Amino acid sequence: MRTFKKPRLLAKAFRTRYWRPGTDFAREVIRAIRRSLRDGDFLVISEKAISTALGRLVDESKVKPSSLASFLARFWIRVAWGYFLGPLCRMSWRTVRNLRSYPVPEGACHKQVVLRLAGLLGALMWGSEGGVDASNLPYTLVSLPLKPGLAQAIAEKLEELVREELGKKVTVLIVDSDRTYSLGCIHISPRKTAVKGIIGGLGILAYVLGNALRLKGRPTPVACSNRSLRAELALRIASLAEKVMGHGAGRDVWEMASRFGVGLTEVTWEMLESVEHRPVAIVKLRK
């Protein structure tokens, strides 16, 4: 019988300045890793940081919510998630408590954005719906996910840039903290991804199933410059990279606001810039 050993991985994250809209993130990446990168490394970059740098943001204070969006904020999140789905998915008491007091006016605007971009399956989620994310952003801004085709193009372009400027052949992964759930070789994700072998875009179905059954949950590889990279290895790399990259100012808007001691919509750009951000990591195969 033949046996296969999993490759051993080692990760290191790199601190950069906070990437405001308009930041040349490719230059920031090159500057951060130029002395540490080697041939064969995996270069991992946060999708959220890229989306922010590209200005893929929406100011939700300017959004007019529909009756469906208001219903989702007032009843679905507060009641269904706060009292039934949250406990079923084994959420922490802190998260459940926050959902029971979900801010209705702001939440309705948020749900309206999600309905437009991710549809109902995404809007039925309690957070990071379809990749729409408000953490590590100020005021009432949210970042939009990279469409799979765009994420793939960015990953391939970054790989090419690294090869041209640093002379290194690497594999670039763009990752998101939204979980992909695995049962053996089957991988399902609430959000869409360009990585082959991951069934994405399942919204609430993937989240509830994954958490209720206690499936292995790992960050989602949104795109990979090596299109033939196995999904399992991509997930392992994303998981290790997240551990060293951290979560910036917080995992969600409640944690972020609590860190600065302000309201949910009172976080500023300057506050975010005062926190250590590590949107880039290198993952190496250990021999």
Please give the full DSSP string across 151-203, using - where no structure is assigned. HHHHHHHHHHHHHHHH----EEEEEEEEEEEEETTEEE-SS--SSTTEE---T
277-286/42-46 β-pairing: antiparallel
Q: What is the torsion angle, in degrees rounded to the nearest 10, for the CA atoms of residue 78, residue 113, residue 17 and residue 172?
A: 100
CA distance 255 to 201: 26
For the stretch 196-227, pLDDT in tens is 999 999 999 999 999 999 999 999 999 999 99
Contact 21, 53 (CB under 8 A): yes
Q: Tell me the pTM.
A: 0.95
Count CB-CB contacts under 10 A for residue 9: 16
Strand partners, 124: none
Q: Kindly report, residue by residue over 78-112, the tens digit of the pLDDT.
A: 999 999 999 999 999 999 999 999 999 999 999 99
